[in-house]
Amino acid sequence: MSALTAPNEVVTRALLRQVNVPGLDRPAALITLDNGFDHTKPNTFGPGGLTSLDEAITAALAANPAFVAVTGKPYVFCVGADLTSLPHLADREQALEIGRLGHRVFARLKDSTVPTFAFVNGAAMGGGLELALHCHYRTLSGGAAALALPEVSLGLVPGWGGTQLLPNLIGIPAATQVILQNPLMQNRMLKPKQAAEMGIADVLLEPADFLERSLQWAAGVVRGEITVTRPEVDRDMWAGVLYFARQTLDQRLHGAVPSAYRALDLLETAKDADFAAGTAAEDEALADLVFSEELRSGLYAFDLVQRRAKRPAGAPDKGLARTVTKVGIVGAGLMASQLALLFARRLQVPVVLTDLDQARVDKGVGYVHTQIEKAVTKGRMDKGTAAKLYGLVSGSVDKAAAFADADFVIEAVFEDLGVKKQVWAELEKIVSPEAVLATNTSSLSITEMAADLEHPERVVGFHFFNPVAVLPLLEIVRGERTDDATLATAFAVGKQLKKSSVLVSDAPAFVVNRLLTRFLGTVFAAVDAGTPLDVANSALDPLGLPMRPLALLQLVGPAVAYHVGGTLHAAFPDRFVVSENLKRIADSGQPIVVDDEINAEVAKLLVTGDAPLTAEQVRQNALDALAQEIRLMLDEGVVAEAQDIDLCMLLGAGWPFHLGGITPYLDRTGTSERVTGRRFLPRGAASLPG
């Protein structure tokens, strides 16, 4: 394959037309990026797309336009490089050529003597955002769904000018957030308002008439009626910000993500290097990273999140879903209150909280109102939306009045089977026979919970992960008698909540909690045997996990971990051992970690053996345990395929993109075959998107 061709590339065409704009003495040139598909197939740049853009720029400039503008098809500006072509590159020289081609084409907009504009009408990610950064000016639609430079999460770096242009436009602190911090935090996207406030865009416009207003604004700039001023970039703080960023990466990733460190190096180069030298360094970084294991893993993980998550395996026909016009929530604690806010914001229907007494109800509703107020104060929500949400969320101690007309009721009460069965027995007498009864249980049996009900078919597991507003995974659990209409409604609601839903069978602790409990149990078994806490805690550092085991345990809560561990011990006593040391920590109520250091008072509580393990032994035991448990879960049919376990761990447990899914990592390291006798995925299955 030549570096200027790509197999199966869906070429994004750059379509040129002349546009007459009032107040200008000659037409403007408008280049529209369009790959010919609907918005579900966003524009990307492979060699063919870059060549088409190059030709359009040549034709546009030849016509002596008033200005040149680039925009996208509806909903999409451009989401970057055609990732499907990267694994087909034959050698380093081809990788260099791809980088240089993008740089050469994009630089024509930066170096043009004719004013150039990017009209960012929709999603702009990776090379799409870099294209916009090369233009002299940028307008941005308030309806743009996703704005990001996500390359580091994939095992790459922004390779078409992003590391050089962005810090010199918005300053090094904000650029570090966009290029490093956001990709490593569940690939966080920027909202249009955030991007505009950072200075990525010069003006934020309403989506309804975005193109017309962008043309008018550009004409105002060309005529000199609008002056764009940009703050001076503070160059004195450059070294300090990058030093702090490197320390943070070391603490969090322990050197495990090469792309993050290469991005840091490129950001350092951007301070003083001329643009040609900086982009040449990007080319070299791209060529070094494109053949790495991290990229192959990142592409696999990215494909799961972008494709499989949108088409959940085993989900019933969406046409069976019932309409939800009101949501009831049993409980008014922190989890219930978070759920209330999420349901109100996403479904835009009345949501009512109930609890045992008015004080608890008031506290729950008060939490929701406080969060709304904070969102308004921070500019993340307008006052009109806030007023509407205030009206949608209410509380009551009268379940009969609150839930009689609810279509969807979810409980978030104490994790005890008897308590939850009592809740449903009471509610079944109140709600309609068609109302869906959802439980946020993290480990208990849906089937047992519904066993005594007259209509057990409408009970479904609806397991969120904390914090509810941040983690995108939703485990939807089908009990033995859950019917298709209930399940379809659960998936439809999950989609409205903008969660990635995975169908899970009714097995103890489902997917994420079962694997995390096995993982933490193995680490704690090492502690019980006499391994020092600091050794056990740092044993997994070479993987670059987002949290060390003890920090994860503290986030979950020792009491919760002990309870879930007990549930799994009852189901699988040979593999899940209840640690008395964990019980001691839970009973003490003391934090395990204080200021990133292990709490010495907690260490004193432990009663341990005299057979300590090395860090390498702890790490291998943990990975072996995960491999064994995943094989058993697949054999039990907990999920449809190994890819669903990968998706759950990526979205619910923060398993790093640079490792790919957990199953390809175990395959790649030989752990799966050594422990279970076979791989989880066919060879090559985790190398290519699609």
What residues does CATH 3.40.50.720 cover in the chain?
320-505
Q: How confident is the model over 458-467, as a mean pLDDT?
A: 93
pLDDT tops 50 at residue 4: no
Read off the pLDDT band of 296 (50, 70, 90).
confident
Give me the residues paired with residue 29 across strands.
18, 68
At residue 7, the pLDDT reads: 57
Q: How confident is the model over 384-392, as a mean pLDDT?
A: 94
Does an H or E element contain 409, and which?
Answer: strand 408-411
At residue 39, the pLDDT reads: 73
Instruction: Look up the CATH superfamily of 320-505.
Output: NAD(P)-binding Rossmann-like Domain (3.40.50.720)
Higher pLDDT, 437 or 469: 437
pLDDT digit string (tens) for 400-451?
A: 999 999 999 999 998 899 999 999 999 999 999 899 999 999 999 999 999 9
pLDDT digit string (tens) for 602-651?
A: 999 999 999 999 999 999 999 999 999 999 999 999 999 999 999 999 99
At residue 1, the pLDDT reads: 30
pLDDT digit string (tens) for 483-532?
A: 999 999 999 999 999 999 999 999 999 999 999 999 999 999 999 999 99
At residue 685, the pLDDT reads: 64
DSSP helix/strand/coil, 576: coil
At residue 650, the pLDDT reads: 93
Name every residue whose Cβ is closer than 8 Å to that of residue 129 and which is 6 or more positions away in sequence.
80, 120, 147, 148, 149, 162, 200
Q: DSSP of 80-108, one letter per residue?
A: -B-GGGGGG--SHHHHHHHHHHHHHHHHH
Contact 71, 227 (CB under 8 A): no
Could you give the CA distance from residue 426 to residue 540 in angstroms, rounded to a whole number? 46
Q: The dihedral of CA 588, 591, 593, 597: what is its sign?
A: negative
Read off the pLDDT band of 292 (50, 70, 90).
confident
How many other CB atoms are found less than 10 A from the CB of residue 397?
16
Higher pLDDT, 341 or 433: 341
At residue 11, the pLDDT reads: 87
Could you give the CA distance from residue 353 to residue 331 in angstroms, rounded to a whole number? 6
Q: DSSP of 647-658, one letter per residue?
A: HHHHHHS---GG
pLDDT tops 80 at residue 61: yes
Contact 10, 81 (CB under 8 A): no
pLDDT tops 80 at residue 460: yes
Q: Beta strand 137-141 with 147-148: parallel, antiparallel or unpaired?
A: unpaired
- Backbone φ and ψ of 277, nearest 5°: -65, -40
Structure-block tokens of residue 413: 């009460």
pLDDT digit string (tens) for 142-189?
A: 999 899 999 998 899 999 999 999 999 999 999 999 999 999 887 889
Is the domain covering 512-637 a CATH 1.10.1040.50 domain?
yes
pLDDT digit string (tens) for 565-616?
A: 999 999 999 999 989 999 999 999 999 988 878 999 999 999 999 999 999 9
What residues does CATH 3.90.226.10 cover in the chain?
13-291
At residue 104, the pLDDT reads: 97
Structure-block tokens of residue 600: 């010495």
Q: What's the mean per-residue pLDDT of the chain? A: 92
At residue 6, the pLDDT reads: 56
Contact 464, 457 (CB under 8 A): no
Higher pLDDT, 19 or 39: 19
Contact 49, 6 (CB under 8 A): no
Q: How confident is the model over 104-132, as a mean pLDDT?
A: 97
pLDDT tops 80 at residue 686: no
At residue 82, the pLDDT reads: 86
How many other CB atoms are found less than 10 A from the CB of residue 528?
20
Which range has highest mean pLDDT (45-49, 214-218, 567-571)?
A: 214-218
Selection from 60, 80, 79, 62 nearest residue 70 by Cα: 60
What residues does CATH 1.10.1040.50 cover in the chain?
512-637
Q: How confident is the model over 262-275, as a mean pLDDT?
A: 95
Could you give the CA distance from residue 383 to residue 377 in angstroms, rounded to a whole number? 10
- The domain made up of 13-291 has a fold known as 2-enoyl-CoA Hydratase; Chain A, domain 1 (3.90.226)
